[in-house]
Structure 1
Amino acid sequence: MKKCGDTRARSDLAIHRAAAFYERPVGQVRPQPGFGIPVDGRGGAMQDEPFTRLDLNLLAIFDAIMSERSLTKAGHRLGMTQSAVSHSLARLREVTGDTLFERTGRGVRPTQRALSMSGDVREALDRLRATLRPRSGGFCSKSTQRTFLLDIPAGIDSIIAPALAQRAVDSEGLSFRISGGRAKAIMQELRFGETWLALDYERPEAEGYRFEHLFEDPFVIISRRAMPRLPAR
């Protein structure tokens, strides 16, 4: 077990190092190793490091394109023109070295690199929003600005969709995007962040996923009374 004194000593050392770093006159301050700015062997900033050229707004645009699968719809969602979204995507392509999205007849399709990035990007954005959001005691559906991606199989969607629609009406910034009928792809969609929550008839066998048993609903058969192959009741 670590002693409190050890932790305080490390904190004091970190404060001392930070203070020493900022004691120089403004004109002499240079990027230093270990303070979050990539530097080369001569002490200069590495301009070709991808992260130094990354605008965090590009990640929000990437997330919107992933959700909408369309540059135009992503622009409407963010209050940007399609041209501005396209320009931002070009900048993000330079940073990642990947096309990220390929044009289709009805919008865009994410590449494997984009799919692998999407979950981490969305989680990072959610954490930033949660960090910057005024503390209000937890999640509030009436004040949130978020789209939840759900995978709900046929048969259950008719039960759940009306309740979700009413919740979206009551909460102006809350919306739901529902897909279904792709049971074999549910685990992959959850893994890559294409779906946040999925409902299914079977218990998942894959590890690394949280699940909860919701309810049981038996199957029934309905027929006419004179059906010869069924016993009369």
Structure 2
Amino acid sequence: MGPIRGMNFGAFDLNLLRVFDALMRERSVTRAGEQIGLSQPAVSQALNRLRGVLDDQLFVRRGPEMLPTPRADELGPVIRNALAEVERALTGDRRFDPATAQRSYTLIGADFVSLLVMPPLFARVSQAAPGVRIRLVDTARGDVERLLQEDAIDLAIEPALAVPEWVSRERLFDSPFLVIAARENPELAAAGVAPDEAIPLDLFCRLPHAIRTVDGTLSGWLDEALAQAGRERRVVLGLPHFAGVALAVAQSGLIAALPAQFARAAAEPLGLAIYRAPVAAGVPEISMYWHGRHDRNPAHQWLRGLVRDVVAGF
């Protein structure tokens, strides 16, 4: 093939595209090298070669991150899709052998996923695929659609999302809300409310609430149901993680509405009692989301199957 825009494409080292794609995903020379099995100096050398060939810095350092230039942002989706097509052409529908696989998976989800899904998931992965690494990034990492498009994540485990057609989705389980409080909560004891009972509406609205919030908004699903009844609760603490909310409740007179699976898991170790809310709130549906180009990828199908098995009892 002849020169393209001043570049002899026939002499171009296509392995550089893997380095570029890893840098786009990881925004770190070190992590990019870990992903594709190259040393940090080798990644830096490849980046310098790319900069020379494309006549652009491609990535500039800002703090600990390597941020893509506009030229890199333009090339990123094109190169990513091209590499995916090559992978599909080479692998076809052949079987995935987890016992010999050497690769990493990245998932995104709340600490709900970190505490309840990832430990049993890794137990299965470590038994079946000792060469596979797996990690979870927090929902605060960014927009799920963008991360899937960039292949920065393999799978998202989230409540209902509005996603485009190219994102595939599979429902995993429903997660209704339950209310937690310290076992010795004096207000609930004085009112004679026993665990597993519904907290009276007036008391529920009067008690101080903690809420899990990523963006600082002090309202959620339950507040919509209360508003329909013409009521509101008193939210006094917002924290970004369910675990932090549960710990705060255990050490104070707070109450909190948390996903049922998390509430039940936290109750015994933290000394919490579980109650029902006085109003019926919407029930979040938890699903896994992935890029449609991985629908038939055997390695991705294997991961989705493991997640499906782990949450089957939720």
TM-score (norm 2): 0.50
Is 1:50–1:95's contact at 8 Å kept on the other side of the alignment?
Answer: no
Structure 1 residue 58, shift from structure 2 partner: 0.7
Once residues 23 and 154 of structure 2 are traced to their aligned partners in structure 1, the CA distance between those partners, rounded to angstroms, is 16
User: Structure 2 vs 1, CA of residues 46 and 104 (structure 1 numbering), >3 Å: closer, same or farther?
Assistant: closer
Per the alignment, residue 187 of structure 2 pairs with 227
Structure 1 residue 216, shift from structure 2 partner: 0.3
Once residues 195 and 186 of structure 1 are traced to their aligned partners in structure 2, the CA distance between those partners, rounded to angstroms, is 8
After TM superposition, the runs of 4+ consecutive aligned structure 1 residues lying more than 6 A away are none
Correspondent of 1:180 among 138, 156, 166:
138
Is 2:26–2:152's contact at 8 Å kept on the other side of the alignment?
Answer: no
Is 2:80–2:150's contact at 8 Å kept on the other side of the alignment?
Answer: no
Compare CA radii of gyration and give the structure with the larger one.
Answer: 1
Give the match's secondary structure for 1:214: strand
Residue 215 of structure 1 pairs with residue 176 of structure 2: no
Give per-residue Cα distances to partners, 1:160-204, cap 9 Å, x unaligned.
Answer: 211332244231332223211228611221222222211111232
Is 2:145–2:163's contact at 8 Å kept on the other side of the alignment?
Answer: no
Is 1:102–1:111's contact at 8 Å kept on the other side of the alignment?
Answer: yes
TM-score (norm 1): 0.65
User: Unaligned 5+ residue runs, structure 1?
Assistant: 1-36, 39-44
Per the alignment, residue 200 of structure 1 pairs with 158
Judge which range, 193-202 or 107-116, deviates more: 107-116
Give the match's secondary structure for 2:177: coil
The structure richer in strand per residue is 2
User: Structure 2 vs 1, CA of residues 80 and 147 (structure 1 numbering), >3 Å: closer, same or farther?
Assistant: closer
- The one of the two structures with greater contact order (alpha-carbon pairs below 8 A, sep at least 6) is 2
Letter in 1 for 2:168: R
Per the alignment, residue 159 of structure 1 pairs with 116
Give the match's secondary structure for 1:227: helix
Correspondent of 2:68 among 106, 110, 117:
110
Structure 1 residue 48, shift from structure 2 partner: 2.2
Structure 1 residue 111, shift from structure 2 partner: 3.4
Letter in 1 for 2:96: F
Coordinate RMSD, CA, aligned = 3.2
Structure 1 residue 214, shift from structure 2 partner: 1.1
Residue 64 of structure 1 pairs with residue 25 of structure 2: no
Is 2:104–2:132's contact at 8 Å kept on the other side of the alignment?
Answer: yes
Once residues 172 and 99 of structure 2 are traced to their aligned partners in structure 1, the CA distance between those partners, rounded to angstroms, is 25
Judge which range, 98-107 or 117-126, deviates more: 117-126
Structure 1 residue 157, shift from structure 2 partner: 1.9
